[in-house]
Structure 1
């Protein structure tokens, strides 16, 4: 005969039932039995019931149970807070944390970690710092779970130095801690530091890197355009068995594309047996950046045919691809299909892509009217009107450029870029007086143009070049190479395109000298004297490639019989045999 009291046996039965319950109907029936048996007054049992509802993402009954509990404990609070995180309601999670602070229940490490995660999701730096203060007060400042959450939160709030401070204070770091720190660096654009931390991880930690670390490392390589490091990371992915993971595969697709190897991107993508929307979107973006708009469309349609539902980012990717390939009709069709076929409303980013596409193809008036009709916040407005400003400069529409630049400057975003683009528009139209006046205004307001720089990777070393600066090692050889290339180009009929490319009204000969020392030309000449024949020269540039350099690179690719890939701020250009994949449309 079982000696356990009936009530205790019943309690154990309920707990085991709730632990294994994954069905709402069964959970509701169990709830009714618990209510009938009188166990709802038992905090321990009720916590299991709350957890069951949370697991089923049913926060309403979970909250009702919590609200009716006579004495909720820290598990009750932590479980419900976690539940609201899981259903995308971090604000309620933080409200619960504040409510708990008003009572006598003390938080534990999981409570703090959950509250910090809510701040991370919301990018709530102020709230995160306040919770960090409570962490210190309650003595959890060295707890691995809490500290890893703090590193992640500070990283998401773009306070990477604070994240590093917490990370360095941790005595026994685990894989989660390292992942948080590497991801923080990678997501904030500090790729070099992300790779450095990854090297530390490999040196100090015996465990294999997980898929999240590897994805972040690959993203860092992508942002830096470091192909060799990216290939090393790819090798680690294969060794660790993460090559079929959708997130890692997407990161690899993006990395190879950003390093100018779209063929490798396609290979990685095609090896994913059942890709979801994430790899498809990455591949659509990659193809679009390389000017392969038709391929982006084929991928999009293939995805639809396989029954994979596109999301907002997927549509943004295909619209961007259409924009960079001049596919006007296709772009408008996809924009309209968002609501008509897929039940999604286009937002400001989607409309900005269409404005960009209309502007690039010379439909400036339509682009201007569309831009005026879109409701945007400051950040979105800066991108929208900056896009129209660039198109106005391209087509010499001074009146639209003036209006667009005013809108950008009013947004207090990308101010220097707006001034420079408007000035170049004036120059292109021959309005030198206005260009001079604008330059003077820039100086008075302390607005500085971002210096143009390009870089090239050779044997895992990165060489950076700035416009007009030849003080680097082998600078004299680079100048000699550029002069020789210019001579050969002119023999073949090259005239150069200097109008509108420089800031001041100078003689044509001086213009040629200035344009001839653009950073991408310096990088190319350095690559030609440093990289063996047969190896593609890959150049990264922080600004848009100018038309003169673009024209020159076509000639140089034919003269030198070299493949040249340039990644500028907008897209990729692959020069081969005197042609560019962008077909002079970018």
Structure 2
């Protein structure tokens, strides 16, 4: 470690000690050093001030040394800060808490927790800020067990009414996916402010409970006015739910409160409109950002890719690079999706290989899944299959992987791979899809009419649509799409009751004529439904937007924006 203190050399420098018997001079000198440290911008300036403090003999003053400690921490000099801490004669609770926070900011939260455990041995009692810092370390590590122990100490010491401590507990439990405990802490808080309300909303959003987040927001606005952080959380909830109408209303609130120039809010709006299938709105909001950073650029790259505008996605990526903005791993997912859905497999593989060599980003399973998808689409199935077998992922990613391989194998006539991929998907048992209409949410399950809202009416609409489609020469393409042993008639019935068709039937009987129908599906859309939705869009003269596991399909006048390449 580079030693900026050089104690042996400094011993030869005569020290000038100001007596505390002259308090005015002592206070003036002390204040002077503190002001210098607070305004220090570089490491060299901090070292220079440190040297002067040492010469005059002020290192024994805990107040001054704490400011020096924080000055080193602001320069990310955690080792020098810790050395200074070790040399302090009487580090107080501020010293301990500052060093703990420094380690968290330097992505070493486990060291912060070790310091927290050591404090009692040095007879230093933690205060509310120390507890908050320790809880934040648990949040960073998603260490719920240690978090619960600290929570117990909070209760014992009577800090459960402390606003900052309780807010940090809500955040910690949320990041540990313990929504129930987060809710308990929030409900028992004596006093709440906009930060604590926002923290609880973020917990819901991060744990895929967007509906609960919006309900909490409706409760909040009865008492207080939201700030831009809370509005960002509301927009994120709308993104996760595909709730376009609520998102637009929130956008209006953003404009009325003057937050539309905020980069964080604007980035969330870009993401929300893209995820709700309104890429034109997303692009308009993006172009209003004066100096967009990696987050809004990434939102646009991903949004354009999922909406079938591959060239726009790649152009945005090149614009990023030209502006000197470093892409992240999510940016590359968008780029790879764009290449996959535009047939640019070689370009996509080049981008995959450049992730580490040019940008220092290590590709993960999701990036390789995109590569499998790209190879499969162009018929390079043996390469895709070999790569698929090497990827170990979670269940959701496995569904995406084998769904991509199934579609490609079926399209290119590889029955062996089609059957194997189909069996893999059936094992996952992921058949749920949802549709979002106005301000209500409805869920539909493939082949399940017992729990289907207005089921009889939906079946009547679907039968009528089928007759009108057959009049135009439509023939069901169900053969080969169901990988179980069923009779042909039963097979056709199963395909006919895919969840997106049920959602479509419900939308047609529930929504006014002319309104765009938006359906969200958690699996890849099958070929049969895709062909049917194209024709239905022309039959009923409605725009239909379906967001499946991979991308958006915008059906209009008998065509889809994916151009039958998905």
Q: Same fold (TM over 0.5)?
A: yes
* Contact 2:235–2:268 under 8 Å retained in 1: yes
383-392 vs 236-245, greater mean Cα deviation: 383-392
* Contact 1:339–1:345 under 8 Å retained in 2: yes
> 1:6-46, CA deviations, whole angstroms, 9 ceiling, x for partnerless residues?
33432232222222222322211110111111111222221
Q: What is the DSSP-based 3-state SS (H/G/I as helix, E as strand, rest coil) of the residue aligned with 2:255?
A: helix
> 1:189-234, CA deviations, whole angstroms, 9 ceiling, x for partnerless residues?
00111111111111122xx322221111111111111111111111
Q: 1:390 aligns with which of 364, 384, 403?
A: 403
Separation in structure 1 between the aligned mates of residue 469 and residue 502 of structure 2, nearest angstrom: 16
Task: Name the CA shift for 1:98/1:262 in 2 (closer, same or farther; >3 Å).
Answer: same
Give ranges in structure 1 of 5+ residues lacking alignment: 406-417, 424-441, 443-447
* Contact 2:247–2:272 under 8 Å retained in 1: yes
> By how many angstroms is 1:327 displaced?
1.9
> By how many angstroms is 1:331 displaced?
0.4
| 2:498 paired residue number | 518
> By how many angstroms is 1:342 displaced?
2.8
Task: Name the CA shift for 1:75/1:402 in 2 (closer, same or farther; >3 Å).
Answer: farther
| 1:330 paired residue number | 347
> By how many angstroms is 1:74 displaced?
0.3
* Contact 2:400–2:549 under 8 Å retained in 1: no
Task: Name the CA shift for 1:401/1:121 in 2 (closer, same or farther; >3 Å).
Answer: farther
1:320 and 2:337 equivalent? Answer: yes
Task: Name the CA shift for 1:313/1:473 in 2 (closer, same or farther; >3 Å).
Answer: closer
449-458 vs 263-272, greater mean Cα deviation: 449-458
- Within a 5 Å distance, the mapping from 1:430-441 to structure 2 comes to none
| 2:246 paired residue number | 229
| 1:239 paired residue number | 256
Q: What is the DSSP-based 3-state SS (H/G/I as helix, E as strand, rest coil) of the residue aligned with 2:520?
A: strand
Q: What is the DSSP-based 3-state SS (H/G/I as helix, E as strand, rest coil) of the residue aligned with 2:477?
A: coil
Separation in structure 2 between the aligned mates of residue 242 and residue 283 of structure 1, nearest angstrom: 20
| 1:32 paired residue number | 51
* Contact 1:388–1:401 under 8 Å retained in 2: no
* Contact 1:515–1:548 under 8 Å retained in 2: yes
| 2:445 paired residue number | 466
Separation in structure 2 between the aligned mates of residue 82 and residue 356 of structure 1, nearest angstrom: 43
* Contact 1:84–1:93 under 8 Å retained in 2: yes
RMSD: 2.3
- Within a 5 Å distance, the mapping from 1:541-560 to structure 2 comes to 541-560=521-540
| 1:148 paired residue number | 167
| 1:159 paired residue number | 178
1:189 and 2:208 equivalent? Answer: yes
> By how many angstroms is 1:383 displaced?
6.1
> 1:86-118, CA deviations, whole angstroms, 9 ceiling, x for partnerless residues?
222212211211221332100011111111111
* Contact 1:186–1:219 under 8 Å retained in 2: yes
Separation in structure 1 between the aligned mates of residue 172 and residue 423 of structure 2, nearest angstrom: 36
Separation in structure 2 between the aligned mates of residue 533 and residue 384 of structure 1, nearest angstrom: 37
Separation in structure 2 between the aligned mates of residue 353 and residue 513 of structure 1, nearest angstrom: 32
- Within a 5 Å distance, the mapping from 1:55-66 to structure 2 comes to 55-66=74-85
> 1:129-162, CA deviations, whole angstroms, 9 ceiling, x for partnerless residues?
1211221222211110100000001111111111
Q: What is the DSSP-based 3-state SS (H/G/I as helix, E as strand, rest coil) of the residue aligned with 2:221?
A: helix
Separation in structure 1 between the aligned mates of residue 187 and residue 343 of structure 2, nearest angstrom: 50
Q: 2:233 aligns with which of 186, 209, 216?
A: 216
Separation in structure 1 between the aligned mates of residue 251 and residue 542 of structure 2, nearest angstrom: 27
Task: Name the CA shift for 1:492/1:280 in 2 (closer, same or farther; >3 Å).
Answer: same
Q: What is the DSSP-based 3-state SS (H/G/I as helix, E as strand, rest coil) of the residue aligned with 1:14?
A: helix
> 1:491-546, CA deviations, whole angstroms, 9 ceiling, x for partnerless residues?
11111111233354333333222222222112212222332333211112232222
Separation in structure 2 between the aligned mates of residue 514 and residue 346 of structure 1, nearest angstrom: 38
Separation in structure 2 between the aligned mates of residue 475 and residue 390 of structure 1, nearest angstrom: 29
Separation in structure 2 between the aligned mates of residue 121 and residue 185 of structure 1, nearest angstrom: 18
| 1:122 paired residue number | 141
> By how many angstroms is 1:290 displaced?
1.3
> 1:300-335, CA deviations, whole angstroms, 9 ceiling, x for partnerless residues?
111222222212221122112222333202201211
> By how many angstroms is 1:73 displaced?
0.8
- Within a 5 Å distance, the mapping from 1:162-311 to structure 2 comes to 162-205=181-224, 208-311=225-328
| 1:6 paired residue number | 25
| 1:445 paired residue number | none
Q: What is the DSSP-based 3-state SS (H/G/I as helix, E as strand, rest coil) of the residue aligned with 2:177?
A: coil
96-105 vs 154-163, greater mean Cα deviation: 96-105
- Within a 5 Å distance, the mapping from 1:380-459 to structure 2 comes to 386-394=399-407, 395-396=409-410, 397=414, 419=423, 421=425, 449-458=429-438
Separation in structure 1 between the aligned mates of residue 524 and residue 358 of structure 2, nearest angstrom: 36
Q: 1:102 aligns with which of 115, 118, 121?
A: 121
TM-score for both structures, normalised by structure 1? 0.87
Separation in structure 1 between the aligned mates of residue 396 and residue 510 of structure 2, nearest angstrom: 38
Q: 1:83 aligns with which of 96, 102, 109?
A: 102
> By how many angstroms is 1:362 displaced?
2.4
Q: What is the DSSP-based 3-state SS (H/G/I as helix, E as strand, rest coil) of the residue aligned with 2:441?
A: strand
1:43 and 2:62 equivalent? Answer: yes
Q: What is the DSSP-based 3-state SS (H/G/I as helix, E as strand, rest coil) of the residue aligned with 2:554?
A: strand
Q: What is the DSSP-based 3-state SS (H/G/I as helix, E as strand, rest coil) of the residue aligned with 1:203?
A: coil
> By how many angstroms is 1:181 displaced?
0.3
Q: How many residues align?
A: 541
Separation in structure 2 between the aligned mates of residue 127 and residue 400 of structure 1, nearest angstrom: 47
Separation in structure 1 between the aligned mates of residue 419 and residue 256 of structure 2, nearest angstrom: 55
Separation in structure 2 between the aligned mates of residue 336 and residue 131 of structure 1, nearest angstrom: 45
| 2:72 paired residue number | 53
Separation in structure 2 between the aligned mates of residue 454 and residue 387 of structure 1, nearest angstrom: 18
* Contact 1:356–1:387 under 8 Å retained in 2: no
TM-score for both structures, normalised by structure 2? 0.90
